[in-house]
Amino acid sequence: MKSILFNGPSKLLRGIGRRMIERIWRLGAGARLFFLTIIYSGESFRRFHLTLREVYFTGVMSLLIIIVSAFFVGMVLGLQGYNTLQKYGSSEAIGVLVALSLVRELGPVVTALLFAGRAGTAITAEIGLMKTTEQLSAMEMMAVNPIARVVAPRFWAGVISMPILAALFSMVGVLGGYLVAVPLIGVDQGAFWSQMQASVDVREDIINGVIKSVVFGVACTMIALFEGFDAPPTAEGVSHATTRTVVISSLTVLALDFVLTSFMITV
């Protein structure tokens, strides 16, 4: 009886402790991979077409999903914003609402979430499968550094693609909001743009949004790369790693967004 009472909680505590230690170990291993990637970046820049190739696969191939979802997000913002703003008789402010929420928050964050689902999973699965089929070991045998050849180009491709995708998301979203507000609802076109321009600051809002998306690009790509690099070399291991990429990237992006916003907004 005593042993059950004692063993139950102690097993639980041991389990929590083991998980914590594993998480911290993974964080350290991820940081090590990050530094190695930075160190070997120079080597990969000498063959820049590798990075361009990855920009094609992570960035260009994500264009469609980003543009379509941005359009719908902008249109929904227009409808919802109008619905609330007209109660206060200020439906012209709809342009401000759409632009600020897209440029400051939704552009970088939703792009990062979509990017984690569209490109992050692909990176993890690809690298995980390379490891499973021992392609990475084969490279090392041939004295080719897999971090310089495989990891660094994908990393820089993600970091380059994310701000471009986020800027496109914001711009297309604003156009979607415009389409709902001006032709559909009948808000005055001049008021829509002029109020927007009066309240959106280039440095405070647009540049900060770009900074956010660069940070998210580093975080999302690095998580995807590490999960792929760390995946157990089995079919199950790769599938788990892919799932973890999406979960961890999404949570990291949302948490980082709070931290960055609290730095950018001076209360």
Residues at the interface with another protein (CB under 8 A): 49, 52-53, 55-56, 59-60, 63, 99, 103, 160-161, 163-165, 167-168, 170-172, 174, 193-194, 196-198, 200-202, 205-206, 210
Report the nearest approach of another protein to the CB of residue 246 (Å). Answer: 23
State which residue, 59 or 146, has the beta carbon closest to another protein: 59
Report the nearest approach of another protein to the CB of residue 70 (Å). Answer: 10
Closest CA to 180 of 81, 68, 96, 64: 81
Report the nearest approach of another protein to the CB of residue 128 (Å). Answer: 22
- As a whole number of angstroms, the distance between CA 254 and CA 257 comes to 5
Report the nearest approach of another protein to the CB of residue 251 (Å). Answer: 27
- As a whole number of angstroms, the distance between CA 120 and CA 225 comes to 8
- As a whole number of angstroms, the distance between CA 224 and CA 154 comes to 10
Q: What six digits make up the tokens of 92?
A: 């012209």
State which residue, 104 or 131, has the beta carbon closest to another protein: 104
How open is the CA angle 4-8-14, to the nearest 5 degrees? 140
State which residue, 110 or 168, has the beta carbon closest to another protein: 168
Q: Which ranges constitute the DSSP H helices of the chain?
A: 2-39, 41-45, 48-58, 63-85, 94-100, 107-115, 121-132, 135-141, 146, 152-179, 189-199, 208-230, 235-264
Whole-Å CA distances, 223 to 45, 231, 246: 21, 12, 9
State which residue, 60 or 144, has the beta carbon closest to another protein: 60
CA atoms within 13 A on the CB side of 115: 35
- As a whole number of angstroms, the distance between CA 99 and CA 196 comes to 7
State which residue, 33 or 163, has the beta carbon closest to another protein: 163
Report the nearest approach of another protein to the CB of residue 16 (Å). Answer: 45
Report the nearest approach of another protein to the CB of residue 213 (Å). Answer: 11
State which residue, 205 or 227, has the beta carbon closest to another protein: 205
